[in-house]
Amino acid sequence: MGDLCNRIFELILAFERYDTSTAIMDDLDAVVHDELGIHVTGFMVLPYNLQKAIERPSDYFTPHKSLPIDWLEEWTQVTRRAPDIAVCHAMSQPLVFTDTELSQKLNPVGEARAAIDLKFRFGARERIICPVSGKWIFGYWSKHPVTLTDTQKHVLQLGAETCCHMYYRLVGDPQSEELRLTMRERTILSLASLGKDAGEIAEYLDISPETVRAHTAHCRQKLGSHTIAGAVGAAMRNRLIP
């Protein structure tokens, strides 16, 4: 365990010498394979509209070369029929988990298990999922069953964060250019978060209730929410409003 920690910390300290996210994933893969017998899967950038990631996760996924290409292709097809429950779970909480732990917790059946069970066709026995900062999902995979200690999960999380932050350094905020809320939209969502309805917001901003409703409709569309409460929650999670 000490060697794993030391090698991950060495990788983190050498962060500045990397010029691509692929290079740092390669070195992380070498470390975790030597120490735990697992591989890097890759990482997924989460859009503001999380429904897009649920419906077409492969559109936002950057695989590592250790992942069998046929697995990626089939995962793409499977997740277009039914969401990958691991992706959905990673969007809702910040802790590292495995497919096995998720199955024990949620007991998915039928199509809900399709993405989880797909790994068996490619000789894999476990996936390890690391949510990162609400903006990425990073993964590892293993050819054998894996039981991780909390410390091992923490160290794997550090490796995941380092790779994702390399992507951030090279590309920028993965969400910032995809969708932008105007200042008026942010103001309306901020007022809505205080419990004000369309009429009260209209009076406060000296605009018509119809204009308020048009702005909130744009917010719901951009943030992938069916309700104004959902849009407010998404905006708060992404720190678009206080």
CATH at residue 194: 1.10.10.10
Residues 6+ apart with CB under 8 A from 24: 11, 15, 18, 162, 163, 166
Q: Is residue 100 part of a domain?
A: yes
User: Same domain, yes or no, for 165 and 202?
Assistant: no
Final residue of a domain: which of 171, 199, 214? 171
Q: Tell me, yes or no, whether 45 and 66 share the same domain.
A: yes
Closest C-alpha among 134, 118, 107 to residue 53: 134
In a domain, 176, yes or no: no
Asked if residue 83 is part of any domain, the answer here is: yes
Kindly state whether residues 8 and 109 are assigned to the same domain. yes
Residues 161 and 192 in one domain: no
Determine, yes or no, domain membership for 223. yes
CATH of the domain at 69: 3.30.450.80
Amino acid at 44: M
| Amino acid found at 57 | P
Q: Between 193 and 234, whose confidence is greater? A: 193
Residues 105 and 192 reside in one and the same domain: no
Give yes or no: residues 154 and 197 share one domain: no
- Average pLDDT (124-132) is 96
Statement: residue 177 has pLDDT above 50: no
Q: Per residue, what are the HEC states of the chain? A: CHHHHHHHHHHHHCHHHCCCHHHHHHHHHHHHHHHHCEEEEEEEECCCCHHHHHHCHHHHEEECCCCCHHHHHHHHHHHHHCCCHHHHHHHHCCCCEEHHHHHHHHCCCHHHHHHHHHHHHHCCCEEEEEEECCCEEEEEEECCCCCCCHHHHHHHHHHHHHHHHHHHHHHCCCCCCCCCCCHHHHHHHHHHHCCCCHHHHHHHHCCCHHHHHHHHHHHHHHHCCCCHHHHHHHHHHCCCCC
* In a shared domain, residues 20 and 105: yes
Whether 161 is covered by a domain: the verdict is yes
182: number of Cβ within 10 Å: 12
Contact 192, 216 (CB under 8 A): yes
Do 129 and 228 lie in one domain? The reply is no
d(CA 75, CA 69): 10
Per the structure, the complete domain to which residue 191 belongs is given by 183-237
| Percent of the chain residues topping a pLDDT of 70 | 94
Q: Looking at the domain assignment, is residue 92 inside a domain? A: yes
CB 83 within 8 A of CB 76: no
Is the pLDDT reported for residue 157 higher than 60?
yes
Q: What is the reported pLDDT for 142?
A: 97
* Total count of domains within the chain: 2
166 shares a domain with 69: yes
Cβ neighbours for 44, distance < 8 A, ≥ 6 positions apart: 53, 57, 60, 61, 62, 87, 136, 137, 138, 139
Q: What is the pLDDT of residues 25-69, one digit of tens each?
A: 999 999 999 999 999 999 998 876 667 777 778 778 889 999 998
Least confident of 57-71, 126-140, 220-234: 220-234
Written as six digits, the tokens of 204 are: 């406060």
**Within this chain, do residues 164 and 116 fall inside the same structural domain, yes or no?**
yes
Judge if 204 and 155 occupy the same domain.
no
Q: Among 150, 171, 192, where does a domain finish?
A: 171
Residues 202, 126 share a domain: no
The pTM assigned to this predicted structure is: 0.74
Give the mean pLDDT of the chain.
88
| Domain-located, residue 177 | no
* Boundary-marking domain end, from 171, 196, 220: 171
Residue 102 located in a structural domain: yes
The pLDDT confidence band at residue 171, using thresholds 50, 70 and 90, is low
